[in-house]
């Protein structure tokens, strides 16, 4: 059944997922617990309509990060849409860490959220 379902999900559809994250079931008693909520700083993450090279500039990619991103894009066969979405998630991670630009660590972390469909289904 899983294989039949996986075949119905196309690559272009999967490119539209920014992140795929497994979230364990929370017990009802934990919903009411004040300690169960993570307090995140209230950050306004700058959103941009930039794409491609403009997005790389917004992310502040140095030559080193750009080379890593481009080689990873080729190795993983990311589409242009997939690449843009990966950079946007990396940028969000950098902003949450109060970093002015995206580093290889941010790019690598964002890749972890792009798990294969085998783990999703």
Question: pLDDT at position 90, please?
Answer: 93
pTM: 0.62
Residues 6+ apart with CB under 8 A from 72: 78, 107, 111
- Domain tally for the chain? 1
Residue range of the domain that includes 64? 2-18+51-120
For residue 65, is pLDDT > 90?
A: yes
Domain assignment of residue 80, yes or no: yes
Domain assignment of residue 67, yes or no: yes
Domain assignment of residue 32, yes or no: no
pLDDT tens-digit readout, 67-111: 999 899 889 888 888 888 899 899 989 999 999 899 999 999 999
Domain assignment of residue 107, yes or no: yes
Considering the chain, what is the average pLDDT of its residues? 76
Residue/partner pairs of 48-53 with CB below 8 Å, 24 or more apart: 51/84, 52/80, 52/84
pLDDT tens-digit readout, 9-51: 777 887 777 777 776 766 655 654 555 444 433 333 445 567 7
From CA 80, how far away is CA 77, in angstroms rounded? 9
Domain assignment of residue 27, yes or no: no
Domain assignment of residue 45, yes or no: no
* Residues of the chain by 3-state class (helix, strand, coil), percent to 5: 55, 0, 45
Domain assignment of residue 23, yes or no: no
Domain assignment of residue 44, yes or no: no
């Amino acid at each position: 059944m899983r294989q039949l379902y996986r075949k119905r999900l196309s690559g272009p559809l999967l490119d539209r997922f920014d992140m795929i994250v497994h979230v364990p079931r929370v017990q009802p008693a934990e919903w009411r617990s004040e300690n169960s909520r993570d307090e995140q700083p209230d950050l306004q993450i700058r959103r941009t309509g930039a794409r491609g090279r403009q997005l790389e500039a917004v992310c502040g990619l140095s030559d080193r990060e750009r080379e890593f991103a481009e080689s990873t894009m080729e190795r993983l066969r990311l589409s242009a849409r997939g690449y843009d979405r990966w950079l946007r998630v990396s940028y969000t991670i950098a902003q949450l860490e109060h970093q002015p630009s995206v580093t290889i660590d941010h790019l690598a972390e964002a890749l972890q959220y792009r798990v294969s469909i085998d783990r999703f289904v």
